[in-house]
Amino acid sequence: MADTPDDSEERPLDPTERRLQTAREEGQFPQSRDLTTLIVLLAFGATLISLAGWYGQLLREVVRSGLSVGPPDLWMDHLYEWASGPLLTAGLWLLALLLPAWLLSMIGPLALVRFQPVFAFKFSGARLDPIAGLGRLLSLKTVLEVLKNVLKVGAIFAVLGFYLWSLRGSLMSLPMQGFETALAHSLAILEVGFWLLTLPVVVAAVIDVFIQWTDFTRRMRMSVQEMRQEMKESEGSPELRQRRRQRQRQLATSRMMSAMEKADVVLANPDHYSVALRYEAGKMAAPIVVAKGSDEIALVIQQLARENGVPVARIPPLARLMYQQVKVGQTVPAALFEAVAKVLAWAYDARQRPQPADLPEIDRLPTEEELARR
């Protein structure tokens, strides 16, 4: 994906899911190195501190075994036993301590993309352009990244300096303490120092996550033209949309033809609405709407009615009310039973006569509000 302009005023729209998915496929998603560093430090430090006593005993055994003096002619056997015993055990446990930190360092960046990454390994010749590379080195983003790292390192050294200054008396007394006491005191100093030095990294990680997420969201924003282009690509070309609509009309016409073969009468408006009704005495509690439509579809329904010999009753108020209040497949409301019964009686009579009788007079129809209350 090409880099997007920085002018957010020209890109006022939030990114679509398709744009975000395309960015992930091209390897673009928010990444925070400070967050990864923080997770590794916390995982490794917390694990090491919690197992410090046990691992300290293991390291003492490694040192003791390595410095043990044996017969000079058996030094190779002693070295092999030491390397395959205490040293190997200490190394394997160290790897076991590093493994959770490594796994968490991978999970941290994935959390920024809701654990839905798409790993994209693509070769880009543009990345080999020395002029473009120099431009990236001198860009504002690179300068800000360097400044952020300088401030972070400065904060860490400042905390370290103040902490060591506060411990000057305790550090001077360590050589005068017993081994076990000095070792415990040293471990306590290291533990407190670790958590203090982690504070600047926490602050830097929080700030960096906010910056990276904000920058990624800004770069992913879309202009009106880009949104229109994406919608056009999603929906296809105008010719494809026209063929799709034509196919939909053909399917709708096919369904209506099947419905009109069983219809008893069609109410018409005459050109704006058409509603086809069907009723089987003894099998249905009330007439049902088998098809309806407006404008072009209304005319198609009337044409199909004439082809199938279904009478068309041009009663605009009743046709409009039925179209607005009754869905296809629903029964006629009780408030319209009397009016629909007159129309059905007229339709049955019209099928028997070469010249149909006059349309029935509908004295009064209920209003939409009255139908809604009922």
Tokens of 150: 């300088």
Same domain for 77 and 197, yes or no, is: yes
At 349, which helix (H) or strand (E)? helix 337-352
pLDDT band at 4 (very low <50, low <70, confident <90, very high): very low
- Arithmetic mean of pLDDT over the chain: 76
Q: How many domains does the chain have?
A: 2
Q: Are residues 213 and 303 in the same domain?
A: no
Confidence of residue 1 (pLDDT cuts 50, 70, 90): very low
pLDDT digits (tens, 9 = 90+) for 104-155: 666 655 655 555 555 544 555 555 666 665 665 666 777 777 888 888 888 8
Residue 274's domain comprises 241-373
For the segment 242-293, what is each residue's pLDDT rounded down to a tens digit?
Answer: 776 676 666 666 676 777 778 888 988 877 888 999 888 888 888 988 888 8
> Are residues 151 and 189 both part of a single domain?
yes
d(CA 254, CA 6): 53
Has residue 3 been placed in a domain? no
pLDDT the model gives residue 371: 67
Highest mean predicted confidence (pLDDT) among 74-88, 171-185, 299-313 = 299-313
Encoding tokens for residue 346?
Answer: 């007229």
In angstroms, the CA 181 to CA 58 distance is 18
Question: Is the model's pLDDT at 364 over the cut of 50?
Answer: yes
Of the ranges 55-59, 333-337, 370-374, which one carries the lowest mean pLDDT score?
Answer: 370-374
Predicted TM-score of the model (pTM): 0.41
Res. 321: pLDDT tops 80: yes
The answer to whether the CB of 260 falls within 8 A of the CB of 308 is yes
- Between 116 and 101, residue with greater pLDDT: 101
Which has the higher per-residue pLDDT, 4 or 348?
348
Residues 76 and 141 placed together within one structural domain of the fold: yes
Euclidean distance between CA atoms 163 and 199, whole angstroms: 13
Residues 225 and 255 occupy one common structural domain: no
pLDDT in tens, 334-355: 888 888 888 888 888 888 877 7
Domain boundary among 198, 232, 266: 232
**Residues 89, 65 contacting (CB under 8 angstroms):** no
